[in-house]
Homo-oligomer: A and B are copies of this chain.
Amino acid sequence: MSGTSSGKIVSLYGHTEKDKAASAIDRMQELVAGRMAEVNDTILKRMDSPVSLIPELAGHLISSGGKRLRPMLTLASADLIGYTGNKHIGLATAVEFIHTATLLHDDVVDESTLRRGKKPANLIWGNQPTVLVGDFLFSRAFELMVESDSLKVLKILAGAAAVITEGEVLQLTTANDLSTTEDKYLEVITAKTAILFAAACEVAGVVAGQGEEVESALHAYGKYLGIAFQLVDDALDYNAERATLGKEIGDDFREGKITLPVILAYRRGTDEERLFWKRTMARLKQEDGDLDTAIELLEQASTLDDTIKRAHHYGAMAKDALAIFKGNPAKQAMLDIVDFCISRAY
């Protein structure tokens, strides 16, 4: 075994595949560029307030270079099914607001130190405004949803919001708990991440009035893509190569967040290794060098690789969910974005 853990992840694809996947996001961005400009306008307009602290704080996160993957999925889904109306613009904005509100509340929650490469809002403005501006974005998201005039859309997105918070609380209750099963972990990431991906895609089908089959297919695509996305996210948090790129790694380790790489390593580990995981992640007694040791154990047990393999499985299901749709550039972009989400190194 040579080099870093990321070497192992990359080795699953080779650099060419990785580059091809990386360009998928550019192609999807190009595809939806026109409508995304409208989404961006709506974001700016709807996060505005005479209370200047609100756009200031919200803009800190919203402008800080997220990929806008979720609203992009709404726009691409609309293109996929040939929807030419305007209702999905507000919904794409609502989806991004829900996501951003969740991130803001996570900042309070996790006391994390890096968020999209910037200092988290709560360290600049304090917990109070961070919670409240998150609430503000949630409320604005609901206003945008109401404007869609579709009770079905409202049911989907209000339901998603409830499931997301339930998933976040469930995640808290599994923190530091090394007996967490893979099944429970899947339940957490489906709720906290995948359901919003699913809703982002599904609502495009609803406003286009295309019926249950299309809506279910879009929902399934989004859900499986979201699960794959989160699996990769959780592997990347132990990716030493990212650290060399100046990215923060080890957040989950420091918080004792029990993700699949650790779940698998704990189960596969020796008694001695289990003592290491118990000390560092259950009791949070961590010393210098523990993160390096953790990464080493994950690599030895191949659990970063296996987490990525699981992501491939869900990625394949996401692609198959699109089988009912005729080929068009949006479909190709949505297929390619699955590979992007799995092979991304950031």
A: which residues have CB within 8 A of B?
A: 49, 51-54, 105, 108-110, 127-129, 131-133, 135-136, 138-140, 142-143, 145-146, 149, 151, 154-155, 158-159, 161-162, 164-166, 168-170, 172-173
Contacts and interface: CB of A to CB of B under 8 A. Distances in A.
B131 A109 contact: yes
B172 A128 contact: yes
User: Top 3 nearest A-B pairs by Cβ distance?
Assistant: A139-B162, A139-B161, A142-B158
Contact of A108 (B128, B138, B151, B170): B128
B166 A54 contact: yes
A54 B169 contact: yes
A97 to B, nearest CB: 11
A105 B131 CA distance: 7
A154 B146 CA distance: 6
Contacts of A158: 139, 142-143, 145-146
Contacts of A52: 173
A152 to B, nearest CB: 9
20 contacts: A51-B169, A51-B173, A105-B132, A108-B128, A110-B128, A129-B169, A131-B131, A132-B168, A132-B169, A136-B162, A136-B169, A139-B161, A140-B162, A142-B161, A143-B158, A143-B162, A146-B151, A146-B154, A146-B155, A154-B154
B146 A51 contact: no
Contacts of A131: 105, 108-109, 131
Nearest to A145: B158
Given A108-B128, A129-B172, A133-B169, 16 more contacts: A49-B169, A51-B173, A52-B173, A53-B173, A105-B131, A109-B131, A127-B127, A131-B131, A135-B161, A136-B165, A136-B166, A138-B161, A142-B142, A142-B162, A143-B159, A146-B155
A140 B158 CA distance: 8
Contacts of A161: 135, 138-139, 142
Contacts of A136: 162, 165-166, 169
A135 to B, nearest CB: 4
B105 A135 contact: yes
B128 A109 contact: yes
Nearest to A46: B162
Contacts of A162: 136, 139-140, 142-143
A159 to B, nearest CB: 6
A53 B136 CA distance: 25
Contacts of A151: 146, 149, 151
Given A146-B151, A165-B139, A108 B129 contact: no
A49 B172 CA distance: 14
Contacts of A165: 132-133, 135-136, 138-139
